[in-house]
């Protein structure tokens, strides 16, 4: 491939990897140990001059481009005016404007409020705080294959032991896990899967003790699992009936990734609270909790916040990112990516597993429930200069999260590498 000048990783990356070993905790891993010098839309250029095709967007973050011109411009303008005041000390307009945009874009036309934080995990923790405070109940219900972060509470909410939880207990109490909908494996309709989940909650947790149900509308780290149609609406209806707060964790699925602003939109589900992060600010750390005004305003003054939450530079970046999504119609772009890539991947896989997902959140689950094939395919892509990620509770899922602005020729080139890697990977 002409995009590659050296083997992957190249000599300069290998030098930096050796240096890193003496400075960075070995507990922090990297999927692909190439050190990046700069990026262009859809390309990561490493310190050896290799041009890698980016089908991961830094885990669904740089959907608007890397760097996105409007994000970079907004960041430069803001950093020259002020970098920080702490919104809890003296406020600024950018924070308010991001909250207005979130209130407007998230599902439902009801009265909403938002609060801003630094990371997805922090947003999820705060959504739980709001739900508990507003309901006076304690239990939190989550699902098999769910992922919600790495802090103590969110580790408890996350399903997978290795690498997220192993050796890090004890975990936060009052967290209950029930089965979700996994059409490939459970063969249930959405309604049947919802009835199964509801029965488990009613019998084992008790609706009157349940503060909230926290769910990813399409599960991310757990394997890009799209629930059967009807599952989310039935669950939402039960929550409404029983006064349980429905928290949609849209941290990976939000901001045009699935071809609509939020994945809840596909089935007309209106959650009580929505958590956002990842794609929100074109790469700057920002997260939000948005939802029903009566819930969000129920907490006492000073009950939510943090030193950096809603940092002005991150807020400026978010406004630049959201403007980019609107102007470039990135929802349509995500749907075009699916139309192009999904049939090709399906043909390459040839029934030895499943290709699924929505928009530019696509996955290949291999039939073998071990990481072997997915790992082999990912390694072949990496060696050919295409950045792909894996996921899944069994590690047998290859996931694609290309930048929504990826040029057609780069996407075609990246998918061609993947097709070849899949064909060879499943044949071995």
Q: How far is the CB of 278 from ligand PLP (least distance, A)?
A: 6
Distance CA(399)–CA(389), nearest Å, equals 5
> Which C-beta is closer to ligand PLP: that of 154 or that of 210?
154
> Which C-beta is closer to ligand PLP: that of 8 or that of 277?
277
> Which C-beta is closer to ligand PLP: that of 50 or that of 106?
106
Q: How far is the CB of 155 from ligand PLP (least distance, A)?
A: 11
Listing from the earlier edge strand, what are the strands of the sheet with 210-215?
Answer: 112-117, 287-292, 273-276, 245-249, 210-215, 139-143, 175-178
Residue with tokens 């149609």: 229
Q: How far is the CB of 242 from ligand PLP (least distance, A)?
A: 24
Distance CA(338)–CA(58), nearest Å, equals 19
CA dihedral 262, 151, 173, 170 (to 10 degrees): 150
Q: How far is the CB of 60 from ligand PLP (least distance, A)?
A: 7
Instruction: Please give the angle made by the CA atoms of 333, 387 and 331, to the nearest 5 degrees.
Output: 15
> Which C-beta is closer to ligand PLP: that of 235 or that of 348?
235
> Which C-beta is closer to ligand PLP: that of 149 or that of 359?
149
> Which C-beta is closer to ligand PLP: that of 263 or that of 322?
263
> Which C-beta is closer to ligand PLP: that of 124 or that of 281?
124
Q: How far is the CB of 230 from ligand PLP (least distance, A)?
A: 21
Q: How far is the CB of 335 from ligand PLP (least distance, A)?
A: 21
Nearest to residue 99, comparing CAs of 84, 117, 82? Answer: 117
Note the maximum CA span of the chain: 62
> Which C-beta is closer to ligand PLP: that of 217 or that of 425?
217
> Which C-beta is closer to ligand PLP: that of 137 or that of 278?
278
- The Cβ of residue 364 has, within 10 Å, a number of other Cβ atoms equal to 30
Give the C-alpha distances (Å, rounded to integers) separating 313 from 27, 57, 80, 95, 196: 29, 21, 10, 10, 45
Q: How far is the CB of 172 from ligand PLP (least distance, A)?
A: 15
Distance CA(331)–CA(62), nearest Å, equals 14
Distance CA(375)–CA(372), nearest Å, equals 5
Could you tell me if 233 and 269 are in contact, meaning their C-beta atoms sit under 8 angstroms apart? yes
Listing from the earlier edge strand, what are the strands of the sheet with 397-400?
Answer: 353-358, 361-366, 397-400, 389-391
Distance CA(37)–CA(49), nearest Å, equals 8
Binding site for ligand PLP (CB under 6 A): 119-121, 124, 147-149, 216, 220, 249, 251-252, 277-278
Tell me the residue number closest to ligand PLP, measured at CB.
120
> Which C-beta is closer to ligand PLP: that of 59 or that of 417?
59
The 8-class DSSP code of residue 335 comes to: H
The alpha carbons of the chain give a radius of gyration, in whole angstroms, of 21
Q: Is 23 exposed, middle or buried (0-12, 13-18, 19+ CB in 10 A)?
A: exposed
């Amino acid at each position: 491939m002409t995009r590659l000048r050296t083997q992957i990783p190249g000599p300069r990356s290998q030098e930096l990897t050796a240096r890193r070993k003496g400075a960075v905790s070995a507990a922090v891993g990297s999927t692909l140990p190439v050190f990046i010098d700069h990026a262009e839309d859809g390309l990561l250029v490493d310190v050896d001059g290799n041009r890698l095709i980016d089908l991961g967007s830094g885990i669904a973050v740089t959907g608007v481009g890397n760097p996105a011109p409007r994000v970079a411009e907004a960041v430069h303008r803001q950093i020259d005016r002020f970098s920080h005041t702490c919104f809890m000390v003296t406020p600024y307009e950018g924070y308010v404007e991001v909250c207005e945009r979130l209130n407007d874009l998230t599902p439902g036309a009801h009265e909403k409020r938002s609060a801003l934080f630094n990371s997805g995990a922090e947003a999820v923790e705060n959504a739980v705080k709001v739900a508990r405070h507003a309901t006076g109940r304690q239990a939190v219900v989550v699902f098999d294959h769910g992922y919600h972060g790495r802090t103590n509470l969110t580790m408890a909410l996350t399903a997978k032991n290795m690498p997220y939880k192993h050796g890090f207990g004890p975990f936060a109490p009052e967290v209950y896990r029930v089965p979700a909908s996994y059409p490939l494996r459970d063969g249930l309709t959405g309604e049947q899967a919802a009835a199964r989940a509801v029965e488990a909650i009613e019998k084992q947790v008790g609706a009157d003790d349940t503060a909230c149900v926290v769910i990813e509308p399409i599960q991310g780290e757990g394997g890009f699992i799209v629930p059967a149609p009807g599952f989310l609406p039935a669950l939402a209806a039960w929550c409404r009936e029983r006064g349980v707060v429905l928290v949609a964790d849209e941290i990976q699925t939000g901001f045009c990734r699935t071809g609509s602003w939020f994945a809840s939109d596909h089935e007309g589900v209106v959650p009580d609270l929505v958590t956002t992060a990842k794609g929100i600010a074109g790469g700057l750390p920002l997260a939000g909790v948005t939802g029903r005004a009566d819930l969000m305003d129920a907490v006492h003054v000073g009950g939510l916040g943090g030193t950096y939450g809603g940092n002005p530079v991150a807020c400026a970046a978010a406004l630049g990112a959201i403007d980019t999504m609107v102007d470039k119609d990135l929802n349509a772009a995500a749907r075009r990516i699916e139309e192009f890539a999904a049939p090709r991947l399906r043909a390459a896989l040839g029934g030895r597993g499943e290709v699924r997902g929505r928009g530019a959140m696509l996955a290949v689950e291999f039939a073998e429930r071990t990481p072997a094939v997915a790992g082999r395919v990912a390694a072949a892509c990496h060696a050919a200069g295409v950045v792909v990620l894996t996921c899944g509770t069994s590690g047998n899922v290859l996931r694609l999260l290309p930048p929504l602005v990826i040029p057609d020729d780069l996407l075609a080139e990246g998918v061609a590498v993947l097709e070849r890697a899949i064909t060879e990977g499943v044949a071995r």
